[in-house]
């Protein structure tokens, strides 16, 4: 199911990513450009120099960089989304289409960036009738993979640990959901990245035991757009 359609993209080759925000790219025309890298994380396994990439031209005259790095090809026909501004936009569109049947899609309102916990904001708050518990939904972009298994996180994330702890405080009065946006189509399983952050893995398992709903959602990314593929198998052993 196509959820999001990209504007016309321009292909190129990644020369290097540096200082987190910048990517040097050689376009198919031979021109070398500096594109904005919206993903400020480690991008483990998804920023190999020499890989095919796609960038989008930006027409905002206030921008210093005229291109945004959108995706990278990690193997034949497998693209990984780089633009971390898109997962929440895509999830918003998917919520409006009511495609996540696990959420009992009879909610009336979808609100974004709602304050909760200790100076945190939930990505989405879904509300139904006054007597029904609200749904607090947090989204985590996921690009790390080992074979066919997506993993989150790819580094120690104290922010992610805090989100799990605060979601647990909402239970059981509210429905708490952690949605992992698997930003590549070659993963059919999901597991916490215990090798990179064992504390996060322990918290996730504890949260599930207390009632947290975990949704590892698979997406196919390609130059046409972003397609929803369903959920991955959850592996918490």
* Predicted local confidence at residue 59, as pLDDT: 83
* Alpha carbons 138 and 44: distance in angstroms, whole number: 22
Positions in the chain whose pLDDT score sits under 50:
none
* Predicted local confidence at residue 26, as pLDDT: 98
* Predicted local confidence at residue 200, as pLDDT: 98
* Predicted local confidence at residue 52, as pLDDT: 98
* Predicted local confidence at residue 130, as pLDDT: 78
* Alpha carbons 47 and 236: distance in angstroms, whole number: 27
* Predicted local confidence at residue 237, as pLDDT: 81
* Alpha carbons 216 and 139: distance in angstroms, whole number: 10
Per-residue pLDDT tens digits for 186-237:
999 999 999 999 999 999 999 999 999 999 999 999 999 999 999 999 999 8
DSSP label at residue 170: H
* Alpha carbons 20 and 30: distance in angstroms, whole number: 24
């Amino acid at each position: 199911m196509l959820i999001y359609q990209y504007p016309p993209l321009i292909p190129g080759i990644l020369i290097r990513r540096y200082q987190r925000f910048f990517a040097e790219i050689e376009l198919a025309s031979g021109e070398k450009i500096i594109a904005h890298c919206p993903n400020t994380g480690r991008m483990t396994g998804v920023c190999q120099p020499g890989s095919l990439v796609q960038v989008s031209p930006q027409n905002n005259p206030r921008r210093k960089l005229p291109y945004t790095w959108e995706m990278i090809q990690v193997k034949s026909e497998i693209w990984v989304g780089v633009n971390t501004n898109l997962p929440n936009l895509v999830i918003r569109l998917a919520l409006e289409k009511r495609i996540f049947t696990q959420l009992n899609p009879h909610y009336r309102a979808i609100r974004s960036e709602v304050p909760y916990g200790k100076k945190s904001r939930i990505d989405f708050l879904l509300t139904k009738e006054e007597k029904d518990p609200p749904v607090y939904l947090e989204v985590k972009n996921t690009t790390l993979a080992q074979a066919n298994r997506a993993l989150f996180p790819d580094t120690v994330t104290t922010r992610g640990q805090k989100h799990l702890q605060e979601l647990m405080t909402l239970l059981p009065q509210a429905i708490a959901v952690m949605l992992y946006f698997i930003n590549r189509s070659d993963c059919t399983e999901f597991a916490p990245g215990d090798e990179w952050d064992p504390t996060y893995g322990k918290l996730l398992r504890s949260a599930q035991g207390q009632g947290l709903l975990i949704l590892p959602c698979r997406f196919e990314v390609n130059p046409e757009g972003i397609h929803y593929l369903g959920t991955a198998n959850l592996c918490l052993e």
